[in-house]
Amino acid sequence: MIASATDIAKAVRTKECSAKEVAAQCLARIESTDGNTHAFLRISGEKAIERARQVDEAIARGEDPGPLAGVPIAVKDNICTVGGTTTCGSKILEKFESRYDAHVAQRLQAAGAVIVGKTNLDEFGMGSSTENTATATTCNPWNASRVAGGSSGGSAAAVAARMVPAAIGSDTGGSIRQPASFCSVVGLKGTYGRVSRYGLVAYGSSLDQIGPLAVEARDVALLMGVIAGHDRRDSTSVDAEVPDYVAGLDDPLDGLRIGISEEYLGEGLDEEVRGCVMAAIENLKTRGASVVPIHLPHMNYAIACYYVIVTAEASSNLARFDGVHYGHRTPEPKDMIDMYASSRGEGFGAEVKRRIMLGTYALSSGYYDAYYLKALKVRTLIRRDFEEAFQSVDAIASPVAPTPAFTIGEKTEDPLAMYLSDIYTISANLAGICAISVPCGFSGAGLPIGLQLMGPAFGEGKLLSVAHQYQQATDHHEQVPPASSTD
């Protein structure tokens, strides 16, 4: 069984074990476990062993390889890494090889981490189930007939099945938090601008954020400390000091004010999810927190607002995949227009095409004011709702998703039903604030349930300490899914 990132880094730094041994064990674990889960799109075994060897050599020379010394990490396949493909789960990028590492990949490696492979996702991050992928659907390690969530389903499943101690995902509308919740791991979406998006293949640029997933909040804090911080190559990356997230984990929660809003606990919420979330809030009360009712009046417009903005941005971002600059080109086009149309027609999946069309429509002359501009205005109202709420509370608690993991295939024919599974997560992206998902129980059918905690901009430290102290008092995260308990 794979140990935590914190424990691995400590053992490697103190030479209790070598990075190479850890990498080999991790690769063997992926090999024996991923056949049924399909969390990985690519495993970079040789490169990982070579990288681990370099970490061991640095240690032998007396150098400090960094806080993630020898920690195996899986990276979502919409984040560029050198050596091997970055496919975004799309046929159009099937053979695309990046010439550079994303900022997060550079940071992780500079901190001694060993990237072991790239994980499955909904094509370009568009989806909530990792079913919209050019390859196999990722199964939920807790129940193979259920989805792992999405779009970072591969990253969440790989961590949940104990194939890797930690993984990196991206979150545009909930894609770290929702799969984390479905798979019983912790996932953090930082404040917009906290982590550089350099090398993340853009989906909705004003919403996208990269973040870590791990079994324990402590490991998430460790990784966040490594990947957060200013990068001049992403003009939206914020030049604000990165606190020592690990050092702050045990800061007392006395006086913590937790907001709860009816808008997040109303119609459509599964009773078992409600029960677990309310029990988690009760638990935090025993730790010194108080609960304050709040009102977020514009939340009902969040889904509509998000799907106008995100599709508009996606239609523009995905224009670069034209068969010329990147990716698939149709073999025998009749003329140039046919080359564009056929390359894109053959390369993109159905959901991506739907979104490009919706976004193009929302941005087109005559509709721009009615849809896109209107959505931007609603976004401002949603942001203000949060600013107002954070005047009187330190964090807002809610479910992550309205239900536990749904059955594979259940929502594939009904895009709107799929979109609704993001109802509690997308507002944090629209407002640019931070939010974390932490395991808070299981349904009667044994499916994981997550608690979401949202915090004001740059409030990651507080969310991590609440999540950590909650985990110290509970054992939900210690349960291991059946798919991984065989060794």
Binding site for ligand GLN (CB under 6 A): 125-128, 151, 171-175, 203, 310, 422
Q: Given the structure tokens 């604000």, which residue do they identify?
A: 240
Measuring CA to CA, which residue among 81, 64, 93, 72 is closest to residue 2? 72
Q: How far is the CB of 76 from ligand GLN (least distance, A)?
A: 10
Q: How far is the CB of 133 from ligand GLN (least distance, A)?
A: 13
**Annotated catalytic residue: which of 47, 76, 118, 411?**
76
Q: How far is the CB of 409 from ligand GLN (least distance, A)?
A: 17
Q: How far is the CB of 207 from ligand GLN (least distance, A)?
A: 8
Q: How far is the CB of 151 from ligand GLN (least distance, A)?
A: 4
What length does the chain have?
Answer: 487
76: annotated active-site residue: yes
Give the CA-trace dihedral at 408, 412, 415, 416, to 10 degrees: -50
Q: Are 351 and 130 in contact (CB under 8 A)?
A: no
Measuring CA to CA, which residue among 223, 175, 178 is closest to residue 200? 175
Q: Are 38 and 119 in contact (CB under 8 A)?
A: no
Nearer to ligand GLN, 127 or 404 (CB): 127
Residue 370 is given by DSSP the state: I
Nearer to ligand GLN, 155 or 172 (CB): 172
- Amino acid letter, residue 331: P
Residue 22 is given by DSSP the state: H
Nearer to ligand GLN, 406 or 470 (CB): 406
Main-chain phi, psi angles of 441, to 5 degrees: 150, -170
Nearer to ligand GLN, 129 or 196 (CB): 129
Angle at which helix 460-473 crosses helix 271-286, to 10 degrees, equals 90
Instruction: Read off the tokens for 302.
Output: 């969040």
Residue nearest to ligand GLN (CB): 175
Nearer to ligand GLN, 177 or 218 (CB): 177
Q: How far is the CB of 136 from ligand GLN (least distance, A)?
A: 19
Which residues, at least 6 apart from 126, have a Cβ–Cβ distance to it below 8 Å? 132, 151, 203, 314, 351, 352, 355
Q: How far is the CB of 123 from ligand GLN (least distance, A)?
A: 10
CA–CA gap between residue 55 and residue 64 (Å, rounded): 9
* DSSP H or E stretch at residue 73: strand 72-76
Measuring CA to CA, which residue among 154, 157, 114, 158 is closest to residue 8? 114
CA–CA gap between residue 116 and residue 461 (Å, rounded): 28
Nearer to ligand GLN, 310 or 466 (CB): 310
Nearer to ligand GLN, 258 or 310 (CB): 310
**Annotated catalytic residue: which of 18, 44, 129, 151?**
151
Q: What's the first-to-final CA gap in the chain, in angstroms?
A: 7
Q: Given the structure tokens 């640019």, which residue do they identify?
A: 432
205: annotated active-site residue: no
**Annotated catalytic residue: which of 175, 315, 398, 421?**
175
- Catalytically active residues are 76, 151, 175
